[in-house]
Amino acid sequence: MSSLYVALDFSDPSQALTLADLLDAQSCGLKVGKELFVRGGPNLVRTLVDRGFDVFLDLKFHDIPHTVAQACLAACDLGVRVVNVHAAGGRAMLNAARDAVPQTPGAPALIAVTVLTSMDETALAEVGIARPLAEQVQLLAGLAFDAGLDGVVCSAWEARAMRTLFDRPNPVIITPGIRPPGSALDDQSRVMAPSDAMAAGATALVVGRPITRASDPSAVVQAILASLR
């Protein structure tokens, strides 16, 4: 599995493919989120997979158990390397997702989102959750662990706790909000440098604009990988 995923946060699939042309599939994976998937569809994902990239399909499936299981099966058919679900869907949904994704070589890693990074304790309270944010993250991550998922998406600031919780061989702890030294913060506030995030327990990083907006995206990828070494 790639240690670095480039977030393809584009509205136009042709832009995503143009960027992919500039990157080495042996050096990084690619993350496809909701907007790009809705606009580019499964064929775009297949194209990226056929080019040799590890693809993290970041769609955060959250629905009734049967629907999520079928969505996970469809993701497996696309050949992606990582697929995620939202742990707030509950134990039955997580179990259904785990049953749908085979635990065999070459199958996608199945990971969970706990609390969206856009939410704070005020936002949780608005949807009826009174416990502190950190406790809610631990609760949902615990459900994912109990269901046998491979790991979580989390803030780098939560990575160490998640790595401790997922006490099994080769946990998958993917952290967004990564900014190489000297990069603009953009709309991020709780950021961490790549090497610090790995030291904190992350196993893979997601980096978007510092790479996608660079004049030489491949050089930024290589610089990040060099910092990890």
Q: How does strand 109-113 pair with strand 82-86? A: parallel
Q: Which residue has the tokens 């005020």?
A: 122
Please state, as a whole number, how many other Cβ atoms lie within 10 Å of the Cβ of residue 67: 14
**CB under 8 Å to 69, separation ≥6 — which residues?**
96, 97, 99, 100
Determine whether 60 is an active site residue: yes
DSSP state of 127: T
Say if residues 173 and 154 touch (Cβ distance below 8 Å).
yes
Say if residues 56 and 7 touch (Cβ distance below 8 Å).
no
Q: Of 4, 6, 58, 60, which residue is the catalytic one?
A: 60
Q: Which residue has the tokens 């259904």?
A: 96
- Report the distance separating Cα 146 and Cα 93, nearest Å: 12
Question: What residues act catalytically?
Answer: 60
